[in-house]
Copies of this chain bind each other. A is one copy, B any other.
């Protein structure tokens, strides 16, 4: 009798549940584990022994799970790291008590750190019956080694389509209009950069290139003189040359030591109006809509998220497989997008940040290069067929509420 647990952590995405669905589906095709348990609210709920049984999920539920946004098992912000040996001991006890052999942890780089810490702890204590496997997810796309992260592409697609559509709205009047879209992206500019797939962005401000106020004001003034309209996209994590966030006035702390940002667009709006550079300005902060807008899932993204879950399960049937994250490697060549799944050491991913390449940014905040567009385009391809009722998508009831 052996079981596995799958749990989700950190900020949810529009396709994070597809990885759960893939693990469950793989176990139905090869029942290596007698049970697939869902751990509720991440490692926090696992430590409280809060589980649901996902083993015999129907195919219909599996399909609905794939189209349901946000973490159906619930999430947490609790970080289990090397310092928390009591938690690690307790987790091992709980896994053994429930005959759990493998913990699949779906999350960002904090979660990969948890996977690395647990597998190191197990190795150091001669524990061979408990294994830990990481599955990446993050809308921020900032994990190293993997070509990209499940969840990113769907958020990127929603941002690009929203940019395109609001650009059409911004331009209908002859009067002057500045529009500022703010995207997520605490440290990396991937999501903001993806807005440029719309080919409508005049000025792009990402964390990777310091914000120079004077040059920004000149660029906006030039664009307004030319067309009377200006479309600006800014990352929440955009910062000045001294490293201070544009949104610094509103910076708080999320308990992980990360600044909680918001307000870069409002800062720019105030700057443009107070300097008289613009007379009218609208802002749009997509907030959590950008990571949960599953009605615009990329088919590529949701398929890869599902298959990554399957791959993680299949690799875990090797009893030496632990402390690994399953990632994505892209085959070279633009015309035929093709990926393989790879296994990488979780500690090589944990706590690193993959920035948007500065070489993919045009000079003077003018957007992204063709190389960046070639990277992005295949990721946002395709629209899944959704199961709908009364005009809206059908979603499963979250397991943490069942």
Contacts and interface: CB of A to CB of B under 8 A. Distances in A.
A401 B171 CA distance: 9
A355 interface: no
B296 A169 contact: no
B68 A168 contact: yes
A12 interface: yes
The prevalent SS among residues of A at the interface is: mixed
Contacts of A284: 285-289
A81 interface: no
Interface in A139-162: 157, 160-162
A169 B288 contact: yes
Contact of A377 (B8, B162, B291, B390): B390
Given A41-B174, A44-B174, A287-B282, A164 B393 contact: yes
Nearest to A156: B391
Contact of A165 (B71, B74, B285, B294): B294
Interface in A152-209: 157, 160-162, 164-166, 168-175, 179, 197-198
A342 to B, nearest CB: 24
Contact-size category for A = 35 or more
Given A166-B292, A294-B165, A298-B391, A12 B287 contact: no
Nearest to A287: B284
Q: Give the number of times this chain occurs in the complex, counting copies.
A: 2
Given A169-B288, A174-B44, A162 B392 contact: no
A12 B71 CA distance: 35
A77 interface: yes
Contact of A70 (B168, B379, B382): B168
A76 interface: yes
A380 interface: yes
8 contacts: A12-B172, A41-B172, A41-B174, A157-B392, A171-B401, A172-B398, A285-B285, A380-B392
Interface of A: 8, 12, 14, 41, 44, 68-71, 74-77, 157, 160-162, 164-166, 168-175, 179, 197-198, 282-289, 291-296, 298, 377, 379-383, 388, 390-393, 395, 398, 400-401
Given A41-B173, A157-B391, A383-B388, 17 more contacts: A12-B168, A41-B172, A70-B165, A70-B172, A71-B172, A162-B293, A165-B293, A165-B295, A166-B289, A168-B395, A169-B288, A171-B400, A282-B287, A284-B289, A285-B285, A296-B296, A377-B391
